[in-house]
Structure formats: structure tokens, C-alpha cells
Amino acid sequence: MASSEGNKLWGGRFVGNTDPIMEKFNASIAYDQRMWEADIKGSKAYVKALQKAGLVTQNEMEQILTGLDKVFDEWSKGEFKIKPGDEDIHTANERRLKEFIGDPAGKLHTGRSRNDQNTHYAHMILLMYNYQTHTSQINFLCLFREIEILCPGYTHMQRAQPIRWSHWILSHAVALSRDVERLEDIRKHVNVMPLGRLFLCIYNFKRILYGLLRLNLFNQKYNKNTEFLFWASMCLTHLSKMAEDLILYSTKEFSFITLTDNSTGSSLMPQKKNADSLELIRSKAGRVFGRCAGFLMTLKGLPSTYNKDLQEDKEAMFDTYDTVHAVLQVATGVISTLMVNQPAMERALSPDMLATDLAYHLVRKGMPFREAHSCAGKAVYIAESKNIHLSQITVEDLQTVSPLFDKDVSSVWDYNRSVEQYSAPGGTARSSVTAQIEHFRTWLQAQKQKP
């Protein structure tokens, strides 16, 4: 009985028909067709290696190259027709190549497996994704600019100490710049030739490899894809946290910023302006986390080398890239168009935020910080019990807490002085923030010049 699976790359061993449900369940063409360009370019390079190895003739190589150009042209024009038997992009392209040139198309698969092709082309696409994502991140980070405005800094969602708005911006910029550097590390790891092994063992046709291929362990492909999923999860963690801050700052309760073209209205309440762009950034982070966790669940129970489970990696990688790329574009739009409400930020500053400065005032007079902290806390209690601002406490009341308080305590109640005292690297002083910004600009310039 002749095999009905003979047109498949693996069909010679089988007789009869594959169950239609299994046929559909097994196929990956629905999502791996986006690798069409990488598949064709990789095949063109591969057939040249076959010719150099003496496994195809010059004429056969030229026929295959011409046929692959025709397949490329169909994909480029949106004219390529996927047929029911095309279970993946490699099968589809080779099937169409055979329709163009006949039997020589069958020689293209000499010495390689679809899993080998999957590894190589996924690597090619991951390199492209890394480059495009790196570019998007740099474009986004270039929008972070110095804004000479004071505003409350928060811990536990409570007003803590005065900071510069530019300091808040830098806190997110630094996290995202580290994401850029992590992405560069992944690119170094991915930028290797993953060809050079079949399902389990290295090619028998060693001549194909000579001068062209660099060997890796098979499962490294999935390590790299997983690394990209890890990276994307970390990057969107940072972008989501930034989005959450901006959502809060855009509310009427804060009114620190105004969002422009990235908001929508309510279908019920006419007065509302919803920060949909930022909320979607926040939600897309969960989508990426799910992709990463899902693929890890696939990997955790697998034995060594290739298993069909690993077909799941491409869909996760494609969706993660699409999501991160979209989030970076939207985030760029939000940051570039938001308006800062300086008066609202400065109105939100309150003397109680200077309680730490009150403690430092005593420290400068020789009191141990732990004792000074207690004294400042007692001063806060006095102000609360009298229903007045901390800055309105009289010197006489402060002296009941510590005799070290004197008239010079009035110098504490100055927000600009407060931020200026933190001049260490990473601090809120003008000199420190300026140094950070200059360092960041130099770093950005170096990033832009990288290939």
C-alpha cells in the first residue's frame, strides 16, 4: 500500500491517512508562516553550502535559487497560497518550490531536519526582534528629559519627602536602560549559527558545515527564546510600574499630569477622561508574563533534545515581541505628549514631608539619628494634636522635645534646601540630577551609534 503521507517531509515511514483532527492539531503553519522570509533566505544560503559540498550540481543550485526567488516574490506580493497539506512554513515553501522547478527541490533538504530549520530561522527572527526592540527602547528613552520641578516622593503610597520631578523620571529611565543592556546580552547569546545538528546528532555530511556553520547544543535555541521571554517580562514590569504611577498622577486627586491624545472618554459619564493607553500597558505586562510562564511549564517536564512540545515556543515569542513592540510605541506617545502641572505638584508639598529634615537638623548638632528620629516623631505628634502644620510649631514647643532646637530650626522649612542636601550620586540635588542626566545622555549617544 502506497503511503498517503509521501508529500510530507517525514511521510515515507507511514501508510494511510492522518486523522484530520490530528492534522490540524499538529500543524504550526497558522503562526510560523511569518518566518517565510527567514526560511527562504536560510534555504538560499544552505543550497550554496550543498553545492560547495558537491551534493548538488551548479545547475541544480541555480534552479533552486531561481525557484526560491519566485516563492519569495509570491510571499512579498501576498499571493502565496497555503494548502491543506502545508503543516509548517518549511513544508509550504518546499512544496511550492517543487511546483516551480520539479525534482531538484527535493535535494534542498539534504542533511537537515525541520527542527534544525526551526532553530535557525527562529534565531534569525529573534535577532531581528532584538534589534527592533532595542531601537524602540532607545527612541523611548530619548524622551526622558530634565524637568526642574519639585514634587512629592512617595513610599507605601504616602507622601514621603520632596524630590525633583526629573528624579522620578530618572528612576524609570535607569531601570529601562538596564533592560536595554540586558537585551544586548541576549543578542550576543543569540548571534550564533544554530545549524549543525539534526534531530539528535551532528550531520553526517560534514562537508556542508565546513567554513559555514558553528555548532551548538540543540536545546540552546529554546534557552535563547526563553531568555527573550524573561527579558520581555522584566521590561514590561518596569513599563507597567511607570504606567501605574502616571495613571495615579493623572487623576483629579493628584492632577500632576494631563494626558493628551492617549486617553478616551466614558460611554456613561461625560466628564471622565480615562488613561486607556496606560491601563493597556499595565495589562499587556500580564499577557507577557503569561507567555513566559506558559512556556516554562512546557519546558520543565521535557526530556533532553527535541520534543514536539517545543513547537509552542514560536507562538509565545511572536506574540511577546508584538506586545512589547506595541507597548514601547504607545509608551513613547504617552511620554512625548503628556503635560506636567507644576503648580499642582508644588501644592502637594507639605511641611510634614520635612520631618526627616527635622531629625537631620538635630543630627548636625550631635544627636544620634535614632534619638533624633524619636524627637522628630514627637514634634509631629505635637503638630497633629494642635491641628497645625509641622512648620508652625513654636520653638518653645520644640524645646520641650529637645533643648537642641533653636531659632535656626526655621531653615528646615524649605523644600528646595531639602532636595539640595542630597548631593551624593543618585540624589535629588541639582548637581546630582544634572550629573545623572549628563551620564544618561552620553550613554544614549553611545547606544545610538551601536550597529
The CATH number of 115-347 is 1.20.200.10
| Residue that is written with C-alpha cell 523611548 in the block | 140
Residue 5 has pLDDT above 50, yes or no: no
Average pLDDT value over all residues in the chain: 83
How many Å apart are CA 6 and CA 14, to the nearest integer? 8
pLDDT at 23: 66
Say whether pTM exceeds 0.85: no
How many Å apart are CA 50 and CA 243, to the nearest integer? 52
pLDDT at 301: 86
The pLDDT of 87-115, averaged and rounded, is: 87
Least confident of 219-223, 308-312, 438-442: 219-223
Report yes or no: 142 and 412 within 8 Å, Cβ to Cβ: no
Considering only residues 124 and 134, tell me which one the structure prediction assigns the higher pLDDT.
134
User: For residue 109, which of 87, 126, 121, 93 has the smallest C-alpha distance?
Assistant: 93
The pLDDT of 391-414, averaged and rounded, is: 96
Residue 21 has pLDDT above 60, yes or no: yes
pLDDT at 212: 44
| Band of residue 190 on the pLDDT scale cut at 50, 70, 90 | low
Q: Which helix (H) or strand (E) holds 127?
A: helix 114-141
The CATH number of 351-420 is 1.10.40.30
Mark residue 196 as left, alpha or beta (left: phi above 0; alpha: psi -120 to 50; beta: remaining).
left
pLDDT at 313: 84
E runs forming strands in 248-384: 257-258, 264-265, 273-274, 339-340
304-307: long-range pairs with CB below 8 Å, 24+: 304/219, 305/199, 305/200, 305/218, 305/219, 306/115, 306/199, 306/200, 306/218
User: For residue 194, which of 119, 125, 126 has the smallest C-alpha distance?
Assistant: 119
Does the active-site annotation cover 156?
A: yes
* Number of other CB atoms surrounding residue 12 within 10 Å: 10
| Band of residue 215 on the pLDDT scale cut at 50, 70, 90 | very low
| Band of residue 125 on the pLDDT scale cut at 50, 70, 90 | low
Catalytic residue among 156, 267, 304, 385: 156
Instruction: Report the percent of the chain where pLDDT is more than 90.
Output: 51
Catalytic residue among 4, 76, 266, 410: 266
Does the active-site annotation cover 410?
A: no
User: For residue 87, which of 146, 150, 22, 16 has the smallest C-alpha distance?
Assistant: 22
pLDDT at 253: 93
- The matching CATH number, chosen from 3.20.20.80, 3.40.50.2300, 1.10.275.10, 3.40.50.300, for 11-110 is 1.10.275.10
Domain borders along the chain are 11-110, 115-347, 351-420
Alpha helices in 191-250 (DSSP H): 206-209, 220-249
How many Å apart are CA 339 and CA 273, to the nearest integer? 15
- Render pLDDT for 225-241 as a digit per residue (tens, 0 to 9): 888 899 999 999 999 99
- Render pLDDT for 127-182 as a digit per residue (tens, 0 to 9): 666 667 877 877 777 776 667 899 999 999 999 999 999 999 999 999 999 998 88
pLDDT at 223: 64
Considering only residues 423 and 8, tell me which one the structure prediction assigns the higher pLDDT.
423
Burial state string for 169-192 with b = 16 or more CB within 10 A and e = fewer than 16: bbbbbbbbbebbeebeebbeebee
- Render pLDDT for 45-88 as a digit per residue (tens, 0 to 9): 889 988 888 889 999 999 999 999 999 999 999 999 999 888 88
Q: Per mean pLDDT, which of 2-6, 193-197, 238-242 is the most reliable?
A: 238-242
pLDDT at 192: 59
CA distances from 212 to 202, 208, 216, 372, 401 (A): 14, 8, 13, 70, 79
**Quick one: cell of 406?**
533653636
Residue 213 has pLDDT above 70, yes or no: no
| Band of residue 1 on the pLDDT scale cut at 50, 70, 90 | very low
pLDDT at 271: 56
